[in-house]
Amino acid sequence: MIISTVISGLLETVVLVAFLSLIPIGLAVFFVALNRSNHNKFLFEKELFEQQAQNQFLKSKVEIQESTLRFISREIHDNIGQVLSILKMNLNLAAARHKDSDLKEAENQLGKVIIDLRKLNKSFHPDYVLKDGLYAAIRNELEIVGSGSGLLVSISLEGDGDFDRGEKEVILLRMIQECIQNVVKHAQATHLDIKIQFLSGQILIGIKDDGVGYNAFDGASDGMGLANLNERSKLLDATLTINSKPGSGTEVFISIKNG
């Protein structure tokens, strides 16, 4: 009986000692977990802050660019456009007075320049995009390129819908303009096709040319406005995909949520 009591007491003591020895370990594990949680929270908040700061920087950069284009558009309309219009009127009067066919031809050519300048002005000024809509703005852009570069251009629209009017629509147009200019400057293409698809809650824009293409992995794209495209796609939370290889043209796909 005494032996049993002693053994029982020893067991209780061993259990108590074991329990007490586990307390520091448990506390250590708790504080390690707490520290890790705080560290993860810190990293998450740091990453979120950096992302917000980056987005704000990109947004400010785009706003400065749009402000510059707005200023250029105003100058074209208020100064250059008016001067050319007066010059056209004077040519018209001179051609009529002297019955000079060369002056009349010069007046006609100047008239075409004024029309192209007005189209270019629409391309610069974001208010025209907001007023006319994305499809009309892209079509205007292709008219400018087609008349000036000799490219055969086309645009097609599938599905019903429209992009949400506002700042994002202007940013998306600038991306498409960047792609078009890349084709004109670098692709040596004969055809440029743009396809807009309105899907369920999504807009997919495809820009395809039959030019020389390039190797997407050798850094050749660095000078082709890719940085601008990536920056703007981040602001739109869009997916940007570029498929190209030498001799096979280039396809650019922009996918963006809508609605």
The C-alpha atoms of residue 169 and residue 131 are separated, in whole angstroms, by: 11
Note whether 64 and 144 are same-domain residues: no
Note whether 16 and 107 are same-domain residues: yes
Note whether 88 and 178 are same-domain residues: no
Give 106: exposed, middle or buried? Use CB within 10 Å, 0-12, 13-18, 19+: middle
Instruction: Assess if residue 70 is contained within a domain.
Output: yes
pLDDT in tens, 112-158: 888 777 777 777 777 777 777 888 888 888 988 888 778 899 999 88
Helix (H) or strand (E) holding 153: strand 152-158
Note whether 142 and 120 are same-domain residues: no
Note whether 156 and 252 are same-domain residues: yes
By the 8 A CB rule, do 188 and 249 touch? no
More confident call, 160 vs 137: 137
Note whether 173 and 101 are same-domain residues: no
Instruction: Assess if residue 227 is contained within a domain.
Output: yes
Interacting residues of 70 by C-beta distance below 8 A, sequence separation 6+: 124, 125, 126, 127
More confident call, 91 vs 174: 174
Structure tokens at 183: 């084709």
Q: Can you give the CATH number for the domain in which 213 is found? A: 3.30.565.10
DSSP letter, residue 209: E
Instruction: Look at residues 102, 124, 146 and tell me which one is the last residue of a structural domain.
Output: 124
Instruction: Look at residues 76, 98, 124 and tell me which one is the last residue of a structural domain.
Output: 124
**pLDDT score of 167:** 76
Note whether 141 and 120 are same-domain residues: no
Does the reported pTM lie above 0.85?
no
Q: Where are the beta strands (DSSP E) in 59-180?
A: 152-158
**pLDDT score of 10:** 47
Of 116, 61, 129, nearest to 84 by C-alpha is 116
Would strands 191-199 and 202-209 be described as parallel, antiparallel, or unpaired? antiparallel
Structure tokens at 217: 């992995």
Note whether 142 and 259 are same-domain residues: yes
Would strands 202-209 and 250-257 be described as parallel, antiparallel, or unpaired? antiparallel
Instruction: Assess if residue 210 is contained within a domain.
Output: yes
Instruction: Look at residues 97, 124, 151 and tell me which one is the last residue of a structural domain.
Output: 124
pLDDT in tens, 38-95: 666 655 565 655 555 555 655 566 566 666 666 666 767 667 777 777 777 887 888 7
Determine what percent of the chain is predicted with pLDDT higher than 90: 15
Domain that holds residue 11: 1-124
Instruction: Assess if residue 103 is contained within a domain.
Output: yes
By the 8 A CB rule, do 210 and 250 touch? no
Domain count, the chain: 2
